[in-house]
Structure 1
């Protein structure tokens, strides 16, 4: 039996032990306090990875197995749950070192020559590099998708439509009004207001703590869109900073009338 086949057989027969050794050595080298459940999760992942190594030794193919890329995507999905990519990336170097030591010891045990060992280590390093690249790329994609979902949820919460009386709705703006929030209001709230059958819309700014400078004009355009639909628009709760910004930018507030607060605005309609 050739040394490579012997090493491959050993890996397949001892993959659980090898995976456990990798995890223990990596944890010791990083001096990290990792929960038991995460250690078990990592061991299961490395069982799959050492299996990839054993399969490569048998096949001799230098291409990266598709199953390894799928495995890396799974890593990204698990990391994206806590949002901390560094906890995974920091483990790659010690993992590389530990696996290199394991392969070197196996090469000595089964009389694998230096040339074959060098080729094996080189391919394993390629696998680790590809795995890391795939993990990072998919993490960034998942993080971007999660951010979009979070922005949408914040936009829904931060700009609700509140019916207060027949023919009157209040649009209370809350938090930080950024470009995404403005786009959401124009695309999603304007149609709802149009179909609500109201005569008055009161846009209340009292809950806003920040509006990006360039978005003041877009809010004005939103107001103009509502007015074009034949609905009277009132603005309330405009803070001094927002008032100063509109003046400095030379923006005329498009609301029909402006009141200090929501109570006075409602009383004016009566």
Structure 2
């Protein structure tokens, strides 16, 4: 084990030089444009990674795994902030991994390691590199998914505002395509806020709706019933012919609703 520890210390002490030598060759396989700032960031990341791998030769497998997992999780989140597509980062991975292992093998042999010890070092590095890559990808995807959900929440909030137009009267303009996520946002976040606005009449305007299916139509009209139970008079406006057909297919009885061609007509009907 002593020769392996010497290699471990050598790799840690010379990590920067080794990484620069590897990157000089590896950059020839990169097809995307890399800025000087991105290159420097990549160099520092790889130096950290090499040191962690090298230090793992002095630790148990379990201990090395935990350290690499935590580092890879942070790395995945940082990559998600910089790159929209992780595939652009992964594309040269296979050839760069080969270059890396060839360099490590040469260093190990130069230090007089036996064939068995060289294989041990390579196997340890290969295992931890694969483990790190899996953790990085999972962290990247988790961060991007959270980002998408946050963006969708912002879009939902912007696309379904409650707009007061006069005392006791407000308009809820529905804009864009209405899907299950947006309906749930309406039910869970928009509807509960309406009573606090002291609204007696709410006009739900459909004129900005691009598309709606029968299931979603049923949910929308459920909102009407919920608001009715809260003592709020609900009016519908801007329901175009194609939306009317969807409502009919959903088996919803129009006769119990107050519907108008426009928001103005709905307001005029109130005669406040």
Q: TM-score, normalised by structure 1?
A: 0.92
Write out aligned runs for 1:81-96 (5 A): 81=81, 82-96=83-97
Write out aligned runs for 1:68-87 (5 A): 68-81=68-81, 82-87=83-88
Shift of 1:232: 1.4
Deviates more, 1:181-190 or 1:91-100: 91-100
Deviations 1:67-92 (A, max 9, x none): 21121112211122233221233243
Q: 1:223 to 1:18 in 2, by over 3 A?
A: same
Write out aligned runs for 1:35-184 (5 A): 35-57=35-57, 59=58, 61-63=60-62, 64-81=64-81, 82-184=83-185
Q: 1:184 to 1:31 in 2, by over 3 A?
A: closer
Equivalences, count: 269
> Helix, strand or coil for the counterpart of 1:51?
helix
Shift of 1:111: 2.0
> Helix, strand or coil for the counterpart of 1:202?
strand
Partners of 2:177 and 2:212 within 8 A in 1: yes
> Helix, strand or coil for the counterpart of 1:31?
coil
> Helix, strand or coil for the counterpart of 2:197?
coil
Partners of 2:218 and 2:252 within 8 A in 1: yes
Task: Tell whether 2:263 aligns with 1:262.
Answer: yes
Q: 1:31 to 1:193 in 2, by over 3 A?
A: closer
- Quote the residue 1:241 is aligned against: 242
Distance 1:20 1:197 in 2: 66
Shift of 1:191: 1.9
> Helix, strand or coil for the counterpart of 2:61?
coil
Distance 1:3 1:264 in 2: 87
Shift of 1:95: 2.9
Structure 1: unaligned runs, 5 residues or longer: none
Q: TM-score, normalised by structure 2?
A: 0.91
Partners of 2:202 and 2:235 within 8 A in 1: yes
Distance 2:151 2:95 in 1: 35
Distance 2:139 2:59 in 1: 28
